[in-house]
Amino acid sequence: MMRPSMNGPQIQSSSERRGWRTWAPAALLPALLLAGCGHLGPGPNPAKVTLKFVIYDNDNSFAATVYAQEVQTGLTTAFAYGPHTPSLTVDLKVPGTYVFYARLVEAPDDYHYGFTGYQAGAYGHMTRGGTRGAATNLIALDIRPGAKYKVFISDSWALLPQPGKPVQVPWHRE
């Protein structure tokens, strides 16, 4: 509220000048929180991919690094997957066609698994489970912004691509 002044211009009290400082942060806080969580802001929402890595009996007893690799560009994103982790949901921000695979942390060259189907292969690391046929081609998913996907990594016969390079091993879209 403005008070009249004897000498001309009206003067605001200090509490009136501070008024906007009180409500402005409260008005901006919800927008800042939503933007920080990825619900507002530039660009589309990332795709959500739920990864399930299985070695035997619907479990993984070892830590692994799980990879999502775009087949044309080779753009590769790695995710840590702890032992006995039921599943892991990750964000993929760049749309494209991706293959998924995992390498054990303890022996990445000896024990590796690919996404070739939605069921566990035969006891993976002991019998080199999987199918040894065309079905061992990696499955590639067309990842779109805001969509949700499920990936089941368990086939130890799958041939894996070299990270960071376009995929040269057999794969097919699903």
Q: Which of 167, 1, 154, 165 is nearest to 66 (CA)?
A: 154
Per-residue model confidence (pLDDT) at position 127: 47
Q: Which of 167, 100, 159 is nearest to 132 (CA)?
A: 159
Per-residue model confidence (pLDDT) at position 16: 58
37 vs 93: which has the higher pLDDT: 93
What CATH number is given for 47-173 in this structure? 2.60.40.1120
pTM over 0.85: no
Mean pLDDT of 72-86: 96
Residue type, 126: M
pLDDT in tens, 136-162: 689 999 999 999 999 999 988 889 999
Tokens of 99: 């293959």
From residue 8, give the alpha-carbon distance in Å to each of 2, 16, 38, 132: 12, 19, 51, 92
Domain boundaries, the chain: 2-36, 47-173
Interatomic CA distance for residues 5 and 53, integer angstroms: 76
Contacts of residue 157, Cβ cutoff 8 Å, sequence gap at least 6: 116, 121, 128, 129, 130, 131, 132, 136
Where is average pLDDT lowest: 4-8, 64-68, 84-88, 92-96?
Answer: 4-8
The torsion angles phi and psi of 58, rounded to 5 degrees, stand at 60, 30
Per-residue model confidence (pLDDT) at position 124: 43
Between strands 76-81 and 112-114, the pairing is unpaired
Tokens 């390079």 label which residue? 165
